[in-house]
Amino acid sequence: MAQETILQHWVLTKFAYPFLLMFFVVFAILEKTKIFGEDKKQLNALVAFVISLIFVSAVFPKLVVGNLILFLTVAIIVVFVALLLWGFVIGEEAKIVGKGMKIAIGIVIGIALIFAIFWATGLGFKFFEPLFDQSWSKDFWTNFFFIIVVAIALAVLLASKNKD
């Protein structure tokens, strides 16, 4: 069993973190919208405090917000990795690379990101096993990739012919 740190204690995870999250979000919204008027920080803080206490006392909203925050953190990391890969591939040479090449690179990065998510979540490639473990799959995929290569070659030839 993994050791529990002080930051994982049930008092913090079930009460303090949800309370602080809700308090800061509500306070920021009240400050930005100025519902109670200009320079009413104490009133905004008091209202945010009461709303946060009510929020912490309810179980289901805490679960919903907790799940949404977990999803948000994972989504932020996925977007960060995608942008990092895009930056590594394109970099400062973005002016040299054409629009079609940028789209192709974006598609390759998207596919790589999907495979990375499957690997990172532990799903592996069990999702794709029915496509590759059949008696017909070897012939199908060989023909499929052959057709893709021919289509790309034709597209390149037709594109170069149109430029002339």
What pLDDT score was predicted for residue 99? 74
Indicate if the pLDDT at residue 101 is higher than 80.
no
What pLDDT score was predicted for residue 127? 67
118: Cβ contacts below 8 Å, ≥ 6 apart: 124, 125, 127
Mean pLDDT of all residues in 47-57 = 94
Contact 89, 56 (CB under 8 A): no
Half-sphere exposure of 65 (CA within 13 A, CB side): 18
Domain boundaries, the chain: 6-126, 128-164
- What is the residue-averaged pLDDT of the chain? 85
What pLDDT score was predicted for residue 80? 93
Secondary-structure breakdown of the chain: helix, strand, coil percentages, each rounded to the nearest 5: 80, 0, 20
Indicate if the pLDDT at residue 94 is higher than 90.
no
Higher-confidence residue of 27 and 70: namely: 27
Indicate if the pLDDT at residue 114 is higher than 90.
no
